[in-house]
């Protein structure tokens, strides 16, 4: 069962924290995802076998956390991430962010540069409220306050609220220098239909760090959850920690 971070006036946040040697691996899920996905569990199994500390978490309104999904924003999820790493973990961190979690990873690294020892992005999707929305979608958000789309990954439709989109527009990163100097590894499938591989290239250029490597996976889709993809993720995190 999950543990919970209780917060005054805010939804309680579900998490699983495994103590161990550092740095603590923190997995940040994607949009409408949770801490029980294949990538998070594969990393936890590896961390457990080697005695590494790890934190899995659910944003408010997602998974086992309290809250209503449609009431959350990218800014409130950023506060969720900082609240959990500040209150649950100690010492250095390696943040692993999947898709939208890659955006949250970057925001946390900028906010806590003294604690974040490294970053691993999996189809990282910073600024998706900018490049991922065409004029028709923006018009729907402006007129209706809500955009509903079919999801290729779930029978539950994907929803975007106007406040969530607006919060993303206030947190854009790619057009300025991203003030993070630690090592960064970016994994991206060449057949990703949702986040163009070019976003990882833009991210690599925007990061201030001189230690950025982008690894393109031939045949890899957005999820990068095939057995060989999970092996690559684990190996990438392992090498980053060992270095």
Measured CA to CA, the distance from residue 39 to residue 27 in angstroms comes to 9
Catalytic residue set: 99, 192, 222
Contacts 24+ apart (CB under 8 A), 84-88: 84/5, 84/13, 84/15, 84/55, 84/57, 85/26, 85/55, 85/112, 85/115, 86/112, 87/5, 88/5, 88/15, 88/17, 88/55
Structure-block tokens of residue 227 = 């057995």
Q: Which residue has the tokens 């103590």?
A: 19
Task: Give the strands of the sheet with 10-18, arranged side by side.
Answer: 3-7, 10-18, 52-57, 21-28, 93-98, 116-122, 184-189, 212-217
List helix spans (H) across the chain: 38-50, 74-88, 100-111, 128-131, 135-144, 162-169, 197-206, 227-242
**Residues for the chain: how many in total?**
243
d(CA 39, CA 17) in angstroms, rounded, equals 16
- Name beta bridge partners: 118: 94
């Amino acid at each position: 069962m999950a543990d919970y971070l209780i917060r005054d006036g805010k939804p309680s946040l579900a998490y699983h924290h495994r103590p161990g040697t550092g740095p603590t691996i923190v997995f940040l899920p994607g949009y409408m995802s949770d801490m029980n996905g294949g990538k998070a569990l594969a990393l936890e199994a590896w961390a457990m076998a080697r005695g590494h500390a790890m934190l899995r978490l659910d944003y408010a309104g997602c998974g086992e956390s309290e809250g209503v999904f449609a009431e959350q924003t990218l800014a409130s999820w950023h506060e969720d991430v900082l609240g959990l790493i500040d209150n649950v973990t100690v010492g250095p961190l390696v943040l692993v962010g999947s898709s939208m979690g890659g955006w949250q990873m970057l925001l946390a690294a900028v906010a806590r540069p003294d604690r974040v020892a490294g970053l691993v992005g999996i189809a990282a999707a910073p600024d998706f409220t900018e490049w991922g929305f065409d004029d028709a979608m923006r018009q729907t958000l402006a007129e209706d306050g809500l955009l509903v789309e079919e999801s290729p990954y779930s029978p539950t439709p994907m929803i975007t609220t106007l406040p969530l989109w607006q919060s993303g527009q206030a947190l854009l990163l790619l057009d300025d220098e991203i003030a993070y100097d630690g090592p960064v590894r970016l994994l991206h499938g060449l057949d990703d239909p949702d986040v163009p591989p070019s976003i990882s290239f833009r991210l690599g250029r925007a990061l201030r760090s001189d230690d950025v490597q982008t690894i393109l996976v031939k045949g890899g889709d957005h999820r990068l959850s095939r057995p060989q993809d999970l092996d690559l993720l684990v190996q990438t995190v392992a090498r980053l920690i060992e270095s």
